[in-house]
Amino acid sequence: MSRRGLLAAVGAGAAGTGIAVAVAAEPPAPTATDVVPFEGAHQAGIATDVQAHLHFAAFDVLADDAAGLAGLLRDWTAAARALVSGRPVGEGGAVGGDPLAPPADTGEALGLPAARLTLTVGLGPSLFDDRFGLAARRPAALVDLPAFPGDTLDPARCGGDLAVQACADDPQVAVHAIRTLSRIAAGRAAVRWAQLGYGRAATVDPSAPTPRNLFGFKDGTANVPGADTAALDEHVWVAADDALAPGERWMTGGTYLVARRIAMHIETWDRTSLAEQEQVVGRTKGEGAPLGGSREHEAFDPATLPTASHVRLAHPSRHGGARMLRRGFNYTDGATGLGRLDAGLFFLAYQRDVRRAFVPVQQALAADDALNEYVRHTGSGVWAVPPGVGAGGWWGEQLLA
């Protein structure tokens, strides 16, 4: 194939999948710090330091029974062990197999480092139906999210039996991971919807600079630190003493994920005065200090902030001390039909119980948040995220073995 023909083929493939395929520059040599350990008590990609890029995908399961579902998760786990270590997937990899057969690995990550890739899997409420005999094992905390005032959800961007969050410091590594898992799932699961993200909009490292969202404000100032084991135990990980029914105990050590695609009215915000922007958020745009304060991380009384400000309404003191570990990413998906920027925040939050964290917080925000004039929620999903795996273990083993 000519170079022009090759480029045309790549462009056609990208148009058909919605995935941008880029030619990578010469990569740096891999180092030990590129690899995030896959095995552990909890899945990686939650308390892990937030990477620079995201590829998130929700899947509908096509397998006929629990054995088919378990086989898919076993195969995914085996592939994930290779992917996160920077190794090609399958016998022969991308170039070493039978030249007359499709390669086992698609090859676009050849030569790239592991780039701190993490893969995190969740199980949606829709998985716990009659198809797989799992209805009695659905955790009580895995609730279907209620309808919130102002939601403009697109059903094509909601739900999913399974979810996979791929985070990496190289966007092509993250895309390769989801592409690989999708390929392995052929006939057993199909992508329902997906989202690319960049420019992390949260950090779990309090010593790192707080990232900014596309409104220009620091986001996640009071996030749960990834190294604070006490805070993680209190707010993120499901504990054995969480009054779990016998059928729910497989979730011990797991957590719950809520994802929301939040479109931002960028052009409207950009025409808003700085003073009004700060009143809406409840913090200064430069330093990120609470209004009336001077430092980002100083203590403050939320009652001193504007009544409808985002920070006041979301403050843990208003919700029984509930906190979530946030791993949001900015996204830009081109332009809308009206020529406006199709961009916003892909919100990802991990919590011990959705009923006591995300739901009450979002109910308060949806009712009164001044920020609602500038945002709308267009996609949504909730998943139970099982605990991590040990040597030889696989995702969902506690539920399906």
- Integer angstrom CA distances of residue 37 from 32, 167, 386, 388, 394: 10, 14, 17, 11, 14
323's tokens: 């906190």
Per-residue pLDDT of the chain (401 residues; tens, 9 = 90+): 443 343 333 333 333 333 333 333 344 444 557 999 999 999 999 999 999 999 999 999 999 999 999 999 999 999 999 999 999 999 889 998 899 999 999 999 999 999 999 999 999 999 999 999 999 999 999 999 999 999 999 999 999 999 999 999 999 999 999 999 999 999 999 999 999 999 998 899 999 999 999 999 999 999 999 999 999 999 999 998 888 889 999 999 999 999 999 999 999 999 999 999 999 999 999 999 999 999 999 999 999 999 999 999 999 999 999 999 999 999 999 999 888 999 999 999 999 999 999 999 999 999 999 999 999 999 999 999 999 999 999 999 999 98
**Which pTM value belongs to this model?**
0.91
397's tokens: 């083993």
Give the C-alpha separation, 252 to 375, whole Å: 35
- Go through the chain and tell me how many residues it has: 401
Cβ–Cβ < 8 Å for 49, 60: no
Give the C-alpha separation, 304 to 384, whole Å: 37
Question: What stretch of H or E contains 56?
Answer: strand 53-61
